[in-house]
Amino acid sequence: MSYESIRQWCLKFGKTYARKLRNSYGRKSDRWFLDEVFLTINGKLHYLWRAVDQDGDVIDILVQKRKDKQAAKRFFKKLLKKQGRLPFEMINDKLKSYTAAKKEIMPSVSHIQEQYSNNRAENSHQRTRQQERQMRRFKSHKQAQLFLSVHGQVNNLFNLGRHLMRSENYRCFRYRAFNELSEISCA
């Protein structure tokens, strides 16, 4: 399958599948790991803001041109709208934008900014980089946002922690994941 087929599939069906998968999972955990990474889209620098829960599942992403307080506030508002509740704890790197936006939007949330405590969110960017290479870079801001939001939800479905279980249990969970994906895509 070519990268262009995947791109067209995301444009046509991606939003619907991601919404159905998000609704089937319900709310994520009370600990949010937040991080941002740069993307180059048509030679211009953009930032991918990502929130991950303690199990490594992607809660939400947002592609923006800036990395300032307003961008962090926009990301927090999007997270709160999708989750419907405040987290108990927010863990991120020492970017000042997070602290400033948190004071305005979520002042009651515990905020941790210790070194290496944010590795869970840092590691979640590796899959994004792999997909970016396979698709030969993203062509537009909209296409990157759409593809990465769908990719995050589908990846949550197949993020099983293979190293933590026996092979027969892994096969059973994998079978369930494929069944859930086929129910969503065929319905």
Q: Where are the beta strands (DSSP E) in the chain?
A: 31-41, 44-52, 58-64, 89-91, 110-112
| Whether the Cβ atoms of residue 78 and residue 55 lie closer than 8 Å to each other | no
DSSP 55: T
User: Mean pLDDT throughout 156-176?
Assistant: 79
> Of residues 64 and 176, which shows the higher confidence score?
64
What is the dihedral sign for C-alpha 10, 16, 20, 25? Answer: positive
Q: Is the pLDDT at 159 greater than 70, yes or no?
A: yes
Q: Is the pLDDT of residue 122 over 90?
A: no
Average pLDDT of 86-113? Answer: 89
160, pLDDT greater than 80: no
Residue 41 has pLDDT above 90, yes or no: no
Mean pLDDT of all residues belonging to the chain: 81
Domains of the chain: 3-186 (3.30.420.10)
